[in-house]
Structure 1
């Protein structure tokens, strides 16, 4: 699973609303929650509060089939990681995009989330530090909780040690197994698995997500 995020300035709320609604490239767009005007409201609130950013745009691209119930778990974990207040969480807009893959038959489904950057009541801004590591952390949590193959990322050591400390209820053996396999298939030694870093969000060294058994 790849989770990415960007911060949308208050003056560009309409642009992100239009982007999420755009049906170019034979894409099927389904608003599962919220409407474009909800994103515009996020922009208005941030502008009135004098805040630079209005929307935290998350894209969620799974490497296995997901249901809307699975997506709800992903949203819950994103809210937990970034401390999204309940009232802001209730205003999240969720958009499903479906388009034909360029490389193979079938359809690709991914999701976009528009999360308010500014809390409407307290006017506090959503947390944003170390977002690349935190997005990778949420991706690994969701893969483990949903039973998806774990895909090594770029910040494996930091994420693994953080999950050991803060999420003891998670079974990290599947994470370790994926890193051991990735290390063994690279110039590294398998025993150096915790130091493995993929070259991209999905490692270009692997055609398929790595297996779940220790090697």
Structure 2
């Protein structure tokens, strides 16, 4: 759900009785309030258009935000519509309806804005070219201004171009970062555009695939996998398609890709892993077997060649004691490494400073827009200058008052443009700072994960190495690296022995 701005053009020959009934109908709405103008003003719009011979009489906009929006923010939307379609916002009729929405989490207030298709003073007809795209431009710009969540529309590509054309590159960048992957293809596909987008966000897609592939291979449950991926600054959530899990950026929620594609695994395997219950992380106990195919034991000649000066039971026991002490030290060191917490992403001081400046500028922009609106209201309600005002001595006073209000409105407009440009520059700077911070954060996470991976491998191999030393003490003469190599060979053999055997069809009789 998103902010919906929908425009309707009422034909002159069709009449306006139906729309007037809808606007004033209190039965379908909890409350109806004319914030500006009256039903009689709408009738006058209709009459003016008929007098001019226009095909359409009234332009009717419906503004229905998904998130809470107040009346000053509604003024902001009206101002953007007036700027886009070139009409005086003071001649618009604004009606507020309060009505329960079908979606539970949607706000219950929406507004109707009605403007005559023909300006009675200039005879100019309202613009209508690419109106649906313009509606989305206004909606996305409003969502950005009010801090609402962006939602993909039908014309997002054109909206991004339109925002850049209006010097709103900061909004276009945010929208493009949020939806460029979705615009191109469904959530499971990968394109060159997605790859470039991930680079802009600080993610190198090939390296990321390698990291996630390793995580999926090591994870023993869905909880374990989610925890490991969260250490990379990302989250895993279920996709729209069955048995599909997707990976997204933990900070911005931007889609990275489908989990099974990033891991290079089958969708069913990844889904089974995500649904699996949490299992113990204890290393498998080695089987007590002396099968020579499972472990390579050095020959006496090899031992003698490697350690010619050592001989006898006492020397072997001494070697075993030294090696066991080394293994114990390795185990303690690995345990301490695994206790190292995975750092969480936090904004840098520069990002915090920029965000604070943006919040201050947004507040100032809101105040400036409200001031501009109040001045426009005052100018709209100011008494007009008629011929009889001059003999009474009030004509010049009224004229000066109107000129003063118009000048103050021009100053307010300039102030609004200045603040908006400053916010745009600060937003662009914030985006660059976020990318740099994410790059450093990802490098830090990768280093921590590398150390954790080596520590986990050590804790898996040390118990197996101890078992080998107990079974064949003479292997200690070959050194620690050789014993750990034997432990790794036995670990692989144990794993392969647990795999189900597959009978070749050619072997069947």
Q: TM class by shorter-chain length? A: 0.7 to 0.9
In structure 1, which of residues 58, 62, 65 is the aligned counterpart of residue 65 of structure 2? 62
Asked if the contact 1:100/1:108 (under 8 Å) is kept, the reply is: yes
Higher percent of residues as strand: 1
Q: CA deviation at 1:90?
A: 1.3
Asked if the contact 1:150/1:212 (under 8 Å) is kept, the reply is: no
Q: Which of the pair has more CA radius of gyration?
A: 2
Q: Which SS does the other structure have where 2:171 is aligned?
A: coil
Asked if the contact 1:117/1:126 (under 8 Å) is kept, the reply is: yes
Structure 2 unpaired stretches of 5+? 195-239, 241-249, 255-509
Higher percent of residues as helix: 2
The whole-number CA distance in structure 2 between the counterparts of 1:67 and 1:125 is: 30
The TM-score normalised by the length of structure 1 is 0.81
- Which residue of structure 1 lines up, in the alignment, with residue 137 of structure 2? 137
Asked if the contact 1:28/1:98 (under 8 Å) is kept, the reply is: yes
Residues 1:5 and 2:15 are matched in the alignment: no
- Pair 190,56 (structure 1): closer, same or farther in 2 beyond 3 Å: farther
The whole-number CA distance in structure 2 between the counterparts of 1:106 and 1:147 is: 15
| Greater relative contact order (CA < 8 Å, ≥ 6 in sequence) | 1
- Which residue of structure 1 lines up, in the alignment, with residue 26 of structure 2? 23
Q: What is the CA deviation profile of residues 138-185 of structure 1, one whole-angstrom value per residue up to 9, with x for unaligned ones?
A: 111111122211111011111102211222364334312331574687
The whole-number CA distance in structure 2 between the counterparts of 1:181 and 1:21 is: 44
- Which residue of structure 2 lines up, in the alignment, with residue 178 of structure 1? 178
The whole-number CA distance in structure 2 between the counterparts of 1:212 and 1:9 is: 48
- Pair 170,115 (structure 1): closer, same or farther in 2 beyond 3 Å: farther
The TM-score normalised by the length of structure 2 is 0.36
Residues 1:159 and 2:162 are matched in the alignment: no
Asked if the contact 1:101/1:107 (under 8 Å) is kept, the reply is: yes
CA RMSD of superposed structures (Å): 2.5
Asked if the contact 2:9/2:56 (under 8 Å) is kept, the reply is: yes
Q: Which SS does the other structure have where 2:91 is aligned?
A: coil
- Pair 139,103 (structure 1): closer, same or farther in 2 beyond 3 Å: closer
Residues 1:213 and 2:252 are matched in the alignment: yes
